[in-house]
């Protein structure tokens, strides 16, 4: 379990370095092109995929998942956001082994708090999401603890699947979006999530909820994303910049 988190952190740091590099590159490009550029604040839709899932899958073969993210620029600095995804994730704790599968939707908005130089389209954003997940959990095995260990351990292999589980939550997103090539964005973000409600399996609990993640103490969860996305202009209408 710990090893998996370490991998995720290493990948995220490497990715951050990568983004910084591309950012500085962008600056020099911008100066050269500056004259020909008008403020490009046009009405647009941006579609992307979360790369963190496929990267994790290379290391942890059983972690399967895909998240598609979209956002639409409503007005200056405000974006309507919707993310859709599927996850199939095993969770192996010391005395319990489960596998969660399901799909989820997150709806909300992003606010860009970064003031760009003229002609640049980078973002430092904060956002909120309402998330909803429909999933199943398979209880593969568990052991019951006895501190004396006089008779030896008890181990069970029930292979029970709990179907029709649901959960909904609120999330706070922070992150960076950098336009590395024209209309191509790389972004990295962290998410803090709070479970608002869930349908629990009888005699068991929801340990991993697709889209939400591992349910921590106080029903909290943390997540992150590295997303590559492409901006598709919808209209030529130029949104007034301030």
Partner 1 sequence: MSKGFTFFIVVIILFFTGSCEVDDICTKEILTPKLILTFHDASDIETRKEVDTLTVWADNKENFYNKTKTDSIAIPLDMNNDVVHYNFVSNSILDTFQIHYDRKDVFVSRSCGYKMNFTLLNETELTQNWVHDFEIKTQNIENEQTVHIQIYH
The site for partner 1 (CB under 8 A) is made up of 93-96, 111, 113, 126, 128, 142-148, 150-154, 156, 170, 172, 192-194, 203-205, 207, 214-218, 220, 222
Q: Which is nearer to partner 1, 27 or 153 (CB)?
A: 153
Is the CB of residue 84 less than 8 Å from the CB of residue 65? no
State in angstroms the smallest separation of the CB of 138 from partner 1: 15
- DSSP tally for the chain: helices H, then strands E: 2, 11
Alpha-carbon span 136 to 202, nearest angstrom:
13
Q: Which is nearer to partner 1, 72 or 172 (CB)?
A: 172
Alpha-carbon span 128 to 130, nearest angstrom:
7
Q: Which is nearer to partner 1, 20 or 161 (CB)?
A: 161
Q: Which is nearer to partner 1, 128 or 228 (CB)?
A: 128
Q: Give residues with Cβ within 8 angstroms of 230, minimum separation 6.
A: 46, 47, 48, 183, 184, 185
């Amino acid at each position: 379990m710990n090893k998996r988190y370490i991998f995720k952190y290493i990948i995220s740091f490497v990715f951050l370095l990568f983004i910084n590099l591309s950012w500085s590159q962008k600056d020099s490009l911008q100066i050269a092109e500056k004259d020909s550029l008008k403020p490009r604040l046009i009405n647009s839709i941006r579609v992307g995929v979360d790369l963190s899932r496929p990267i994790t899958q290379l290391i942890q073969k059983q972690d399967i998942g895909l998240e598609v993210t979209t956002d639409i620029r409503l007005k200056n600095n405000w974006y309507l956001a919707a993310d859709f995804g599927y996850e199939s994730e095993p969770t192996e704790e010391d005395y319990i082994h489960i596998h969660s599968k399901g799909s989820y939707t997150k709806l909300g908005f992003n606010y860009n708090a970064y003031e760009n130089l003229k002609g640049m389209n980078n973002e430092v954003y904060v956002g909120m999401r309402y998330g909803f997940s429909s999933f199943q959990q398979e209880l593969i095995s568990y052991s019951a603890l006895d501190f004396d260990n006089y008779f030896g351990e008890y181990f069970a292999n029930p292979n029970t699947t709990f179907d029709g589980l649901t959960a909904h939550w609120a999330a706070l997103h922070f992150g960076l979006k950098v336009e590395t090539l024209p209309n191509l964005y790389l972004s990295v973000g962290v998410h803090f999530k709070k479970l608002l409600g869930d349908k629990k399996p009888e005699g068991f609990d929801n340990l991993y909820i697709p889209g939400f993640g591992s349910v921590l103490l106080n029903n909290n969860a943390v997540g992150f994303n590295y997303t590559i996305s492409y901006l598709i202009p919808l209209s030529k209408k130029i949104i007034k910049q301030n």
